[in-house]
């Protein structure tokens, strides 16, 4: 299981209870606008928009905000055009990092991301420098204390999950991107509510990080995630669960 999956689950839980919630709203609305602009307003015919709207609703983004975001995306309301970009680099300890952004000012965002890497003890990389080490997958996680592990695993397998792993207090279900919605919906229909669910990039291999490097890596990832233009950060670190939890609480 990727250490970053544990980090994402913890961060997602925190975002519902602290000031990060407002920032999360902004990022979700950006994705709704972009998805509508690319594939149109029909939820049935636009899987990316459908997933974006479901994520926004799950985080309690008001329905009116979602509707306006869709109308801005399709051009029915005046709005901002966002460009999709992915930046790549390395963090402390040789950790590979991908940064997905939606921006209305590429030069500004490039400068900010490069500066964050530099200040965080990392190095900004050229296009393609680390992307080869990741693959696009659906990831659905559950907290062990809230579900029956065997029941969730069996339901996921029946629904077409590609892989299931269990570590510490998290169950992680991996799907092909095109199977993500079917598996997630099947699990929800079986009354299993995920702690976190998304289509994301997962690493082919991980890098073990400990000590001060672990703190620096998570700090760099957090700083990148805090950027208003950043939609997602993907990294291949392997940090012990107790260290991730401790540093997440400090952060």
Q: Is the pTM higher than 0.75? A: yes
The neighbouring-strand residues paired with 91 are: 95
Q: What is the largest CA-CA distance in the chain?
A: 52
Work out the number of other CB atoms within 10 angstroms of the CB of residue 128. Answer: 8
Q: Which CATH number fits domain 3-74: 1.10.10.200, 3.40.640.10, 3.40.50.1440, 3.40.190.10?
A: 1.10.10.200
Give the position of tokens 């997958």: 137
- Copy the structure tokens of residue 85: 């970009």
Domain borders along the chain are: 3-74
Q: Residue 196: which H helix or E strand, with range? A: strand 196-203
- Give tens-digit pLDDT for 64-87: 999 999 999 999 999 888 999 999
- Give tens-digit pLDDT for 175-213: 999 999 999 999 999 999 998 888 999 999 999 998 899
- Give tens-digit pLDDT for 127-177: 999 999 999 999 999 988 899 999 999 999 999 999 998 877 789 999 999
| Model pLDDT, residue 21 | 60
Give the position of tokens 């420098």: 129
The neighbouring-strand residues paired with 233 are: 99
| Model pLDDT, residue 16 | 55
């Amino acid at each position: 299981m990727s250490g970053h999956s544990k980090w994402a689950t913890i961060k997602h839980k925190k975002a519902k209870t602290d000031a990060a919630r407002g920032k999360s709203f902004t990022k979700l609305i950006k994705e709704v606008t972009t998805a509508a602009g690319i594939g149109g307003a029909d939820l049935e015919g636009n899987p990316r928009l459908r997933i974006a709207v479901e994520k926004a609703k799950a985080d309690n983004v008001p329905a009116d905000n979602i509707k306006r975001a869709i109308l801005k995306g399709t051009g029915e309301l005046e709005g901002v055009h966002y460009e999709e970009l992915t930046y790549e680099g390395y963090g402390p300890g040789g950790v590979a990092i991908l940064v997905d952004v939606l921006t209305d000012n590429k030069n500004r965002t490039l400068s900010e991301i490069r500066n964050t890497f530099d200040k965080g003890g990392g190095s900004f990389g050229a296009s393609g420098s680390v992307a080869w080490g990741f693959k696009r997958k659906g990831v659905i996680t559950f907290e062990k204390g809230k579900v029956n592990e065997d029941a969730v695993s069996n339901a996921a397998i029946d629904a077409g999950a590609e892989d299931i792993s269990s570590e510490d207090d998290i169950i992680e279900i991996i799907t092909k991107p095109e199977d993500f919605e079917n598996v997630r919906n099947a699990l929800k229909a079986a009354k299993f509510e995920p702690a976190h669910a998304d289509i994301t990039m997962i690493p082919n291999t991980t890098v073990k990080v400990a000590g001060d490097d672990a703190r620096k890596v998570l700090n760099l990832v957090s700083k990148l995630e805090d950027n208003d233009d950043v939609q997602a950060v993907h990294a291949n670190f392997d940090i012990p669960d107790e260290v991730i939890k401790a540093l997440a609480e400090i952060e």
